[in-house]
């Protein structure tokens, strides 16, 4: 297995899928000649030509609408929205077309569309360029929404997204592009709706996704070394469909849960997960479920203010210290 | 929003009982202002607020107990409801803040009264705060939640508390009272009288001695024919410490009779010459001084046994057991060996007054090296006392009685006082205890050394 960056894993996967299926093509602003704002599509225009890697004008509603049409006619468009923040312009195409056409036209035509887009703050890109809008899309029946945290998952889930007949919002994170991880060389897909327990523990569960799932894993490992807390980390990976079973089973084991998310707290992913846990694991809960999320402000530009508004390791450590039980339970490995 | 927590007011304090709230919800609280009075294992103390604000909610009511660090009240700004959010940033945050305060004020009454998780309060409201997991575990193990005290936020009973309780139950198998109740239940109605008789007998027939309820920390189920009295912090501490002492310290006892006739005559003269605001010298003051002087010569009696070592204390600090309505307390008279009788009398009187008013501070109670328990004023022929660790000994002082004693083979009436020294045999041996008593006796009977 090779260790490669998240960025490289996406690039490799797009190349492999373009090779595998002639119906797959890429669309997006600056993805061809400029090779993408974040270089995810580096080298692909040269390799596959302008019919497979299409540079489009700055008109999200226009090119997402085109992609929906192309998908209806049997192609498999993979659209890049330069950052998550610009997706608002294409909301009607996503909400009212991509998510509904298969249903409203009696199943006559599926919409095998993938929209890839990076979100996340922390790069001093200010209020309109640093958002995490996954809750908007995870709310919509008819869409599938995924947010992998490792290069390995990025590869398997992007392949799954492209080969899947449903419209998929594939959420990347600016802060993950340079992170590295082992990626198997073979062709594989990761099914949606399967969470991954990235670290086992007995004292409490941290549920997270995307970049925060990697922060949660670091924090959990550190707290185990330094303070003997056995924190279980669940990376949900897929926001819709959501793997409720894995979440519920983990909380049944630990009795305590924190949802760690980089979006705003109110009406966020954590709200859905907290509701799920109390519905399905009420008798196992030993404390109220905690949500650790961003401060509810437009993200400031100034670095100290940006840091103060974003959630992160410190906030999670504080929450764990506050929520952890008095008694530590020893992991019993079978 | 900030919390007022149960402070740690002495080294041995584990929990405190709120005796009085000086502020009520809605009152403004200044930084450093006293908000409540608390009874600890040792003394009644005042709790000061570390921050300023408005008292929004009292979490631990008067008469309820909370462990160190547990929030006992919530302080807020008191402004969330009335001030409209002015700036854009504020208006973003306002909805959340308002929801929070609305929740708080709406639920305040119920949560406040249900907070303690202590059986009495919960019976009043019918609500016991327990996590769903704790409830399920309690049900599985047949545990009555009202027996438990919650350690979670606001006194919530959580899994930790249930597990603690289960472990405690394992450590003290078959508590006598609960087995008595089981018998009562299982016996048919026709033989009810014998079943009732079984209840008081049960402790004696139990193969393992039942640990006193106070020492294992969990109230036992009440027997049908007894009233249950919840212990104060002080009573719990007395029960725990004296049990520890009797179980861990190998006590032995040496008695002696001291002829007090001459020293009492001297005392009478000293007290007769007092001006109006002078402090009278008591028999106890004489005993304190005599012991203090004797302790100078017997450092091991003034010492402590600790983990295989003798600690020989440089100061002679005498604990004086004082009977108070709430129980028993032992304030410490410092450096008694280097103080004159008048000073000892004045300080002892002040300590006793403070003890009876419940105003002793932890400083008044710490650092003792020897103690004296005097029941002489209550017509006691003799008694022996339980050592107050880490002290090595305690002197039990009985009444001074007119007694015929043979002097030159003639019966003569003298004032005889019986004393018993309880000593820790790990640091004090029999002959040493006897010599120490001889020295106390010599000082008191010779009269003049006591003025030294």
ipTM of the shown complex: 0.79
CATH number given to A2-183? 3.40.50.970
Q: Is A10's pLDDT higher than 70?
A: yes
- Contact assessment for residue B251 and residue B423, using Cβ atoms and an 8 Å cutoff: yes
Q: Does B136 touch chain A (CB under 8 A)?
A: yes
- Contact assessment for residue A195 and residue A157, using Cβ atoms and an 8 Å cutoff: no
Inter-chain contact A326–B131, Cβ cutoff 8 Å? no
Q: Is B205's pLDDT higher than 50?
A: no
| Shortest distance, CA A217 to any CA of chain B (angstroms) | 25
pLDDT at residue B223, rounded to an integer: 56
Q: Is B197's pLDDT higher than 80?
A: no
Percent of residues, chain B, with pLDDT higher than 90: 38
Count CB pairs under 8 A between chains A and B: 44
pLDDT band at B125 (very low <50, low <70, confident <90, very high): low
Q: Is the bond preceding residue A241 a cis peptide, omega within 30 degrees?
A: yes
Q: Is B405's pLDDT higher than 80?
A: yes
In chain A, CATH 3.40.50.970 sits at 2-183
Scanning every residue of chain B, which has its alpha carbon at the shortest distance from the alpha carbon of A325? Answer: B160
A157: phi then psi, degrees, rounded to nearest 5: -85, -30
Mean pLDDT across B244-268:
94
Query: What's the pLDDT tens digit per position in B11-40?
Result: 677 788 888 888 888 888 888 888 888 887
Say whether A224 is catalytic: no
Inter-chain contact B160–A282, Cβ cutoff 8 Å? no
Percent of residues, chain A, with pLDDT higher than 90: 94
Considering the entire predicted model, what is its pTM? 0.53
Query: What's the pLDDT tens digit per position in A246-258?
Result: 999 999 999 999 9
Q: Is B105's pLDDT higher than 70?
A: no
pLDDT at residue B101, rounded to an integer: 40
Those residues whose C-beta lies under 8 Å from the C-beta of residue B225, and which sit 6 or more positions away, are: B196, B199, B200
Strands (DSSP E) contained in B330-452 are: 332-333, 370-374, 393-407, 410-424
Q: Does domain B249-451 match CATH 2.60.40.420?
A: no
- Top-tier CATH class for A196-323: alpha beta
CA distance A143 to A167: 5
pLDDT band at B212 (very low <50, low <70, confident <90, very high): very low
Inter-chain contact A286–B133, Cβ cutoff 8 Å? yes
**Domain segments of chain B as ranges:** 2-115, 249-451
Catalytic site residue from A129, A152, A261, A262: A129
Q: Is B175's pLDDT higher than 50?
A: no
Mean pLDDT across B183-190:
37
Inter-chain contact B133–A296, Cβ cutoff 8 Å? no
Chain A CB contacts of B95 under 8 Å are 266
Chain B CB contacts of A298 under 8 Å are 92
Torsion on CA atoms B284, B289, B292, B298, rounded to nearest 10 = -100
Scanning every residue of chain A, which has its alpha carbon at the shortest distance from the alpha carbon of B157? Answer: A286
Element (DSSP H or E) covering residue B37: strand B34-39
Inter-chain contact A283–B163, Cβ cutoff 8 Å? no
Active site residues of B: 425
Mean pLDDT across B317-326:
89
| Shortest distance, CA B158 to any CA of chain A (angstroms) | 6
Six-digit token pair at A165? Answer: 């007949």
The residues on A that touch B, with CB distances below 8 Å, are: 255, 265-266, 282-287, 296-298, 325-327
Residue B328 pairs with which residues in a beta bridge? B323
The rounded mean pLDDT for chain B is: 78
In chain A, CATH 3.40.50.920 sits at 196-323
Inter-chain contact B96–A296, Cβ cutoff 8 Å? yes
The partner residue sitting opposite A283, judged by closest CB among B133, B151, B158, is B133
- Contact assessment for residue B232 and residue B44, using Cβ atoms and an 8 Å cutoff: no
3-state secondary structure of B11: coil
Element (DSSP H or E) covering residue B50: none
Query: What's the pLDDT tens digit per position in A24-35?
Result: 999 999 999 999
Query: What's the pLDDT tens digit per position in A203-233?
Result: 999 999 999 999 999 999 999 998 889 999 9
Query: What's the pLDDT tens digit per position in A126-154?
Result: 999 999 999 999 999 999 999 999 999 99
Query: What's the pLDDT tens digit per position in A176-203?
Result: 999 999 999 999 999 999 999 999 999 9
Query: What's the pLDDT tens digit per position in B42-94?
Result: 777 888 887 888 888 888 888 888 888 888 888 887 654 434 433 444 444 44
The rounded mean pLDDT for chain A is: 95
3-state secondary structure of B122: helix
Q: Is B452's pLDDT higher than 80?
A: no
Q: Is the bond preceding residue B175 a cis peptide, omega within 30 degrees?
A: no
Q: Is B190's pLDDT higher than 50?
A: no
Burial call B203-232: b when 16+ CB within 10 Å, e when fewer: eeebeeebeebbebeebbeebeeeeeeebb
pLDDT at residue B180, rounded to an integer: 36
Q: Is A73's pLDDT higher than 90?
A: yes
CATH number given to B2-115? 2.40.50.100
pLDDT at residue B15, rounded to an integer: 83
Inter-chain contact A282–B89, Cβ cutoff 8 Å? no
- Contact assessment for residue A125 and residue A84, using Cβ atoms and an 8 Å cutoff: no
pLDDT at residue B176, rounded to an integer: 40
| Shortest distance, CA B197 to any CA of chain A (angstroms) | 41
């Amino acid at each position: 297995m090779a260790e490669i960056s998240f960025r490289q894993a996406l690039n490799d996967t797009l190349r492999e899928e373009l090779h595998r299926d002639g119906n797959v093509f890429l669309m997006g602003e600056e993805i061809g000649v400029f090779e993408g704002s974040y270089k995810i599509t580096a080298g692909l225009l040269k390799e596959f030509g302008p019919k497979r890697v299409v540079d489009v004008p700055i008109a999200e509603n226009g090119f997402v609408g085109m992609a929906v049409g192309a998908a209806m006619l049997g192609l498999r468009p993979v659209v890049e929205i330069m950052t998550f923040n610009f997706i608002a312009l294409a909301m009607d195409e996503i909400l009212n077309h991509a998510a509904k056409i298969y249903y409203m036209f009696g199943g006559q035509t599926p919409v095998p569309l993938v929209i890839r887009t990076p979100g996340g703050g922390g790069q001093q890109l200010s209020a309109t360029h640093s958002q995490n809008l996954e809750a908007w899309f995870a709310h919509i029946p008819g869409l599938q929404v995924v947010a992998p945290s490792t290069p390995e998952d990025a590869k398997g889930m992007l392949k799954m997204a492209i080969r899947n007949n449903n419209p998929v919002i594939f959420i990347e994170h600016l802060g993950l592009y340079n992170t590295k991880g082992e990626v198997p060389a073979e062709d594989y897909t990761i099914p949606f709706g399967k969470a991954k327990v990235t670290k086992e523990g007995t004292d409490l569960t941290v549920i997270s996704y995307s970049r925060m799932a990697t922060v949660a894993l670091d924090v959990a490992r550190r707290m185990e070394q330094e303070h003997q807390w056995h924190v279980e980390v669940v990376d949900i990976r897929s926001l819709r469909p959501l793997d409720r079973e894995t979440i519920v089973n983990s909380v049944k084991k630990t009795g305590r849960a924190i949802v760690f998310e980089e979006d705003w707290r109110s009406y966020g992913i954590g709200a859905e997960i907290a509701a799920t846990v109390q519905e399905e694991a009420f008798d196992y809960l030993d404390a109220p479920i905690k949500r650790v999320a961003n401060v509810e402000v437009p993200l400031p530009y100034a670095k100290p203010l940006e840091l103060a508004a974003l959630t992160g390791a410190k906030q999670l450590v504080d929450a764990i210290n506050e929520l952890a039980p008095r008694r530590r339970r020893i992991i019993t490995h079978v | 929003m900030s919390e007022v927590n149960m402070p740690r007011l002495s080294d041995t304090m584990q929990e405190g009982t709120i005796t009085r709230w000086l502020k009520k919800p809605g009152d403004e609280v200044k930084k450093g202002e006293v908000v409540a009075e608390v009874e600890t294992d040792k003394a009644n103390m005042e709790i000061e607020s570390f921050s300023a604000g408005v008292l929004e909610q009292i979490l631990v009511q008067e008469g309820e107990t909370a462990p160190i660090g547990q929030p006992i009240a919530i302080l807020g700004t008191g402004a969330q409801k009335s001030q409209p959010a002015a700036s854009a940033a504020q208006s973003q945050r306002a909805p959340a803040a308002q929801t929070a305060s609305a929740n708080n004020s709406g639920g305040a009454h119920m949560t406040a009264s249900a907070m303690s998780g202590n059986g009495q309060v919960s019976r009043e409201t019918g609500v016991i705060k327990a996590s769903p997991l704790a409830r399920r575990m309690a049900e599985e193990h047949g545990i009555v939640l009202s027996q438990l005290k919650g350690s979670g936020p606001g006194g919530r009973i959580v899994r930790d508390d249930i597990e603690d309780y289960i472990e405690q139950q394992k450590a003290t198998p078959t508590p006598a009272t609960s087995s008595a109740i089981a018998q009562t239940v299982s016996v048919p109605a026709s033989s009810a009288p014998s079943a009732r008789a079984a209840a008081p007998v049960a402790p004696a027939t139990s193969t393992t001695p039942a640990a006193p309820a106070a020492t294992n920390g969990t109230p036992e189920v009440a027997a049908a024919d007894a009233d249950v009295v919840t212990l104060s912090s002080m009573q719990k501490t007395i029960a725990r410490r004296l049990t520890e002492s009797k179980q861990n310290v190998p006590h032995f006892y040496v008695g002696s009779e001291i002829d007090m006739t001459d020293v009492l005559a001297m005392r009478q003269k000293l007290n007769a010459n007092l001006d109006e605001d002078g402090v009278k010298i008591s028999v106890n003051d004489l005993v304190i001084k005599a012991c203090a002087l004797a302790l100078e010569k017997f450092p091991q009696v003034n010492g402590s046994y600790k983990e295989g070592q003798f600690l020989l204390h440089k100061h002679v600090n005498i604990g004086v057991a004082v009977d108070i309505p709430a129980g028993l307390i032992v304030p410490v008279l410092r450096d008694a060996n280097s103080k004159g009788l008048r000073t000892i009398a004045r300080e002892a009187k002040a300590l006793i007054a403070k003890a009876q008013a419940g105003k002793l501070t932890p400083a008044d109670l710490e650092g003792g090296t020897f103690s004296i328990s005097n029941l002489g004023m209550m017509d006691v022929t003799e008694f022996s006392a339980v050592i107050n660790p880490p002290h090595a000994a305690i002197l039990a002082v009985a009444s001074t009685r007119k007694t015929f004693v043979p002097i030159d083979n003639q019966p003569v009436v003298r004032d005889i006082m019986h004393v018993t020294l309880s000593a820790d045999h790990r640091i004090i041996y029999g002959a040493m205890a006897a010599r120490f008593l001889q020295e106390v006796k010599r000082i008191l009977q010779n009269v003049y050394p006591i003025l030294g």
